């Protein structure tokens, strides 16, 4: 399987919203509602932020939301805060493929 | 507390072997599929291998197939990754991760270990 496609970087000012895309194919992102998103701070393990396209695990702020259209999934972070600065990865279906990661910078 | 703790990483020469362990606690380990995911320095997450709940089914990334073996001991609540014929490109932090979807747990990698570093170099 090929890696999912994410933009290498994204940025926004505090309080703004930013959206990160994750593009796959009809065999992964488009074919199943199992897209998940992970946040990773430097030197730390990844943390689950969104699962099954748009669901949030307990404890994840509702500033984080997910959606999907066709073969592209999206993670939106609203009301950006300094602590949101991190790398974000998408994953699809059974988790055997990840996106290349997006570095989110809070300006 | 639900947690995963990896161990066994270190420095190994090319062609050498290493066995990683991942100790699980705080949940019914035998109910969950488990995965290994790695991250080379400065790079992204890459899926390595997975094993089903009773250990009867495994799957591997093409890059490690035939060299790595995933296994588990449900009596000891421990996941393993036996790595043979190691190459420089296997250098990475190796994470074990729980695949949820049992009961009310998210169907995703909902629990991650802290990672263990493997360095392949002469």
Interchain contact, A34 vs B114, CB within 8 Å: no
Interface test with B, best of A94, A99, A100 (most B CBs within 10 A): A94
Model pLDDT for residues A27-79, shown as the tens digit of each residue: 889 988 999 999 999 999 999 999 999 999 999 999 999 999 999 999 999 99
What residues contact B56, with CB distance under 8 A and at least 6 apart?
none
User: Does A89 touch chain B if contact means CB atoms closer than 8 Å?
Assistant: yes
DSSP A5: B
For residue B101, give how far its alpha carbon lies from the nearest alpha carbon of chain A (Å). 10
CB distance A52–B44 less than 8 Å?
no
Whole-angstrom Cα distance, residue B33 to residue B57?
Answer: 10
In this predicted model, what pLDDT tens digit does every residue of B70-82 receive, in sequence order? Answer: 999 999 999 999 9
Most B CBs within 10 A among A5, A44, A46, hence the mutation to make, goes to A46
Nearest-angstrom CA–CA distance, A85 and A87: 7
What tens digit of pLDDT does each residue of B61-71 get? 999 999 999 99
Chain centre to alpha carbon of residue B55: 14
Average pLDDT, chain B: 96
Q: Compare CB distances from B45 to A34, A46, A51 and report the shortest one's residue.
A: A46
3-state secondary structure of B29: helix
Q: How far apart are CA B44 and CA B64, in angstroms?
A: 17
Which pLDDT score is estimated for A27? Answer: 87
Distance CA A95, CA A13 (A): 31
CB contact under 8 A, B112 and A94: no
Structure tokens at B4: 């995963």
CA–CA distance, A39 with B111 (Å, rounded to integer): 13
């Amino acid at each position: 399987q090929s890696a999912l496609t994410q933009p290498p970087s994204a940025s926004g000012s505090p309080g703004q919203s930013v959206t990160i895309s994750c593009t796959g194919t009809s065999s992964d992102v488009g074919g199943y509602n199992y897209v998940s998103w992970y946040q990773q701070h430097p030197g730390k393990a990844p943390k689950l932020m969104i699962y099954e396209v748009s669901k949030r695990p307990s404890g994840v702020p509702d500033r984080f939301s997910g959606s999907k259209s066709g073969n592209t999934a999206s993670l939106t972070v609203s009301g950006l805060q300094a602590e949101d600065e991190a790398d974000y990865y998408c994953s699809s279906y059974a988790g055997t493929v990840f996106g290349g990661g997006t570095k989110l910078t809070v300006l | 507390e639900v947690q995963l703790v990896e161990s066994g990483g270190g420095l190994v020469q090319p062609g050498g072997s290493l066995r990683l362990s991942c100790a699980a606690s705080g949940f019914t380990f035998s109910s969950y599929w488990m995965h290994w995911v790695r991250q080379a320095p400065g790079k992204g997450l890459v899926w390595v291998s997975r094993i089903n709940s009773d250990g009867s089914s495994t799957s591997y990334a093409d890059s490690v197939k035939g060299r790595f073996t995933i296994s588990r001991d449900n009596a000891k609540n421990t996941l393993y990754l036996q790595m043979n014929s190691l190459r420089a490109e296997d250098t990475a932090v190796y994470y074990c991760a729980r695949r949820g979807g049992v009961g009310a747990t998210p169907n995703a990698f909902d629990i991650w270990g802290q990672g263990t570093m493997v360095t392949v170099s002469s």
